[in-house]
Chains A and B, each alone.
Chain A
Amino acid sequence: MTGQYLSRQKLAEALADEQCLWSAAGEQVEVCEMIAGLSEPRSPLSPKGWLYPSLQSVGQYGDGFTSPPAEAPAPRAIIGLRACELAALKYLDKMLLEGQFQEPVYRSRRKSAVLVSTDCAAAAPTCFCTSVGGLPLADDGYDVNLSPVEGGFVVDVASDRGRAWLAAAGLECIPASADQLAQRDRIRRAVTEAVESQNRSTGLEVAQGQSLVLPDDGDPAWQRYAADCVECGACTNICPTCYCFYLYDQALGPGLFERVRTWDSCILGTYHRMAGTTSNMKPTPRPRLRSRLANRVLHKFTYAPQQCGLLGCVGCGRCIEACLGAIDLRQVVGELQP
C-alpha cells in the first residue's frame, strides 16, 4: 500500500490512547509532542536505548540453577524512526542476530517492534547521511513510513505488520492527491539537497558497503584527532550502531548472582585491558588513545563492510554533537581517506 494520505489530526486522535513510543531512546511522550517531532530533525538519542538497553540483566546463576531473564515485551510501535535509524537497525540485525549466537534482549525487543518511520523534514547541522550512501528518507526496512506534507502525511505501508498496526490503531487512510505526492517529492529533494550541501566541504563520500582504506591503528596520523579526545565515550554511547558490551556479575544474596550486560566503549583504556602485568606481557594491544580512536573509525568504515557488507556509520552525526573535544567524524574520515 503506497501513496495514501493521513491527516495530522486523525493521527493524533487515533494515537491518543496508544502505548506508542517515540524513537528517542524509549521515552514515552505525549501524542502532540510525538507528532510535532515528526517535522523536526532526528532526535538527539537513537532507539538503541530501548532496543538494546545500556544496562540489562541477562540472567541469574547460583547454587545449581540458572534462569534466563523473562523478557517478552508487548508489541509496540516505534514512531518517527529516520532513515539513518533504520539503517542502524539493519546493521545491528546483521551483527547481533545473524551470527551463530543471537543477542537475546535485542532479538525480543526488535521482533516486538513495529517500525514507523518518517522522512526527514529538516536536517540537523551534523547530519551527513548522504555522504555515507544514505538518504534522509526511508526506502526500506520500515513497516509504515510517514512523509510529512501539508496537513498530514503521505503513508506507505511495506509489511503485513504495518497494515495490522494501522488497522488496530484505527488509522484509515485515503488515497493521496497528485499535489500531495508532488509535495512529498519536493520536500524529499529539498532536504536531500540541504544535507548534501552542508557536507560538500567535508570531502567525505563513501558508497554504502564500500570498505575504506584508512591508515591503520598504529599510524601516528590519528594523533591529530586523538589530541582532542578526552576519552569520555560519548561517541560510542550516542552512536546508533555501536553495540560493544561487557558482562559483569553482581551478588544478589548468598550464593546467588546476577549477570549484567552493560554497554562498553572501545575508546576507553580499560576496554582491551587484559590480566597479567609481568614485564613480558602487554596488557592491551591498543595502549594509545589514538589507536583506540582509530580502531573505532576503522570498525565503522573499513571492518564493518568487510564483516557484513554494510558501513558501520549511518551518518546521523550524533557523535559530532556529543563530542566534548569537538572531533568531527566527517573531517576525520574526509581527511584520512585517500
Chain B
Amino acid sequence: MSTSDSYIPTPTELVEVIDETPTIKTLVLAPAEPMSFKAGQFIQLTLPGVGEGPFTPSSSPSHPERISITILRTGTVTERLHECRPGQVLGLRGPFGKGYPIDKLAGKEVLVVGGGVGLAPLRALILTLLDDLDPIKRMSIRYGARGMEELLFRREYDQWASHAKVDMQVTIDNPQPGWQGPTGVVTTLLKDLDMTLPECTAFVCGPGIMLQFTTQALEAEGLTAEQIYLSMNRRMSCGMGLCGRCNIGKYYLCKDGPDMNYALIKDAPNVF
C-alpha cells in the first residue's frame, strides 16, 4: 500500500444495486480479492472517467468478499453512481482511516446515533457488535430520518433489536400517515437517556448540523467530550494523509478519523 498503487483504483465489479430509499442506493461490490477492513474505515470509490469519492462501507467487515457502499444522491459523482448497473466495473482504493475503536468498548454501553444516510457507516459498527455482543453491556440505537420513505435499512431494525442487549428507537421529522412512532429530529430521542452515563460511549454519524445538535444534546445529558465519537465530513482527495484538505486543526480526518473523538477537536474552529 505504500507505492504508487495507492493512487490507482483496483477494478471491482458491481454485482448488485439495492434501492434503499428514494435518494439512497446501496452498491454491492465484489472485489477480486477480498478487501479486509475495520468497521468505520473508508474506501475511495471511483466511477471511471467521472470521479472518486470517499465512502464508509455499510456492510460487515466479516464479509470482505462483498462490500456494500450506501450512497446518498447529493452531487455530480453520486448522481452518476446511482445510475450504475450490475456488471459495471468500478474502482476501489483503501481501506483508509482508523475505524471505530471497538477494542475500547468492552464493558461499555454503546449509544449509536444516526441521521439520514449517516446510518450507513454505523451499520458496519452495529453488525460488528452484533457478531459478538458478549464484551459490551448494551447497544442502544437512535435513528432519525426526514420521512418514513427515507428510513434506511428499515427491514433490519427488528432483527437488530431482537437481541436482549440491543434496543432501537426511530423517529421521523414530521408526522406522516401510517407512522405510529415518534416524530421530531433525532435529538428528541436523546432526552433523559436511560443509560448508565459514565459507562456510555456514543457514536454519531449524520449531516454536519445533526452532528452539532446531537453533540449538544449528549453533553446536556451529561456525556463528556471523551465519550463522544463523531463521523466528521470533509472533502478528501487522497485518503492517505497527504493531500491536505481534510484537516481539522492538526488532524487529518482521512488518517486520524474519519470518526474523531470529540475531545480532540472540540476546541477547533469550524468543526461543524
Contacts and interface: CB of A to CB of B under 8 A. Distances in A.
Interface of A: 58-69, 95-96, 99-105, 216-219, 243-249, 251, 255, 257, 259, 261, 264, 266, 271-278, 280-282, 284-286, 291, 295, 298-299, 302-303, 306-307
Contacts of A259: 7-8
Interface stretch (B106-114, B223-231, B241-249): B241-249
Interface string B200-211: 000000011110
Given A104-B4, A247-B238, A275-B74, A217 B270 contact: yes
B7 A261 contact: yes
A68 B77 contact: no
Given A68-B5, A282-B208, 7 more contacts: A66-B8, A101-B238, A243-B244, A247-B237, A266-B245, A271-B245, A276-B74
A59 B243 CA distance: 17
A29 B260 CA distance: 49
B34 interface: no
A252 to B, nearest CB: 10
Interface string B50-63: 11110000000000
B22 interface: no
Interface of B: 1-11, 46, 48-53, 72, 74-78, 89, 91, 207-210, 233-235, 237-238, 240-245, 247-250, 255, 268-272
Nearest to A101: B240
Contacts of A101: 1-2, 6, 238, 240-242
Contact of A245 (B9, B238, B247, B250): B238
B241 A303 contact: no
B269 A274 contact: no
A95 B238 CA distance: 14
A275 B78 contact: yes
A294 B84 CA distance: 41
Given A244-B243, A276-B75, A102 B2 contact: yes
Contact of B4 (A58, A96, A284, A295): A58
Contact of A62 (B48, B207, B271): B48
Given A264-B245, A285-B270, A68 B4 contact: yes
B2 A275 contact: no
A100 B240 contact: yes
A271 B250 CA distance: 17
A245 B255 contact: no
Given A218-B269, A274-B234, A276-B75, A257 B3 contact: no
B244 A264 contact: yes
Contacts of A278: 74
A99 B241 contact: yes
Contacts of A102: 2-3
Contacts of B4: 58-59, 68-69, 104-105
B242 A103 contact: yes
A287 to B, nearest CB: 9
Contact of B7 (A95, A100, A247): A247
Given A99-B255, A246-B243, A249-B52, A291 B270 contact: yes
14 contacts: A61-B11, A61-B46, A66-B5, A101-B2, A244-B244, A247-B7, A249-B48, A251-B49, A275-B74, A280-B208, A280-B209, A282-B209, A285-B270, A302-B250
Given A61-B9, A278-B74, A295 B237 contact: no
B53 A275 contact: yes
A241 B270 CA distance: 25
A281 B189 CA distance: 22
A274 to B, nearest CB: 5
Nearest to B209: A280
Contacts of A243: 242, 244
Contacts of A298: 249
Contact of B11 (A66, A105, A284, A299): A66
B8 A58 contact: yes
A63 B243 contact: no
B75 A68 contact: no
A166 to B, nearest CB: 33
Given A69-B4, A259-B8, A275-B77, A64 B242 contact: no
B244 A303 contact: no
A243 B247 CA distance: 14
A273 B235 contact: yes
CB-CB nearest 7 A-B residue pairs: A275-B75, A218-B269, A244-B244, A104-B4, A101-B240, A68-B4, A303-B250
B5 A245 contact: no
Contacts of A264: 237, 243-245
Nearest to A250: B49
A248 B235 CA distance: 14
B244 A245 contact: yes
Nearest to B77: A275
Nearest to A307: B250
A90 to B, nearest CB: 17
A291 B248 CA distance: 12
Contact of B255 (A100, A244, A272): A100
Nearest to A299: B247
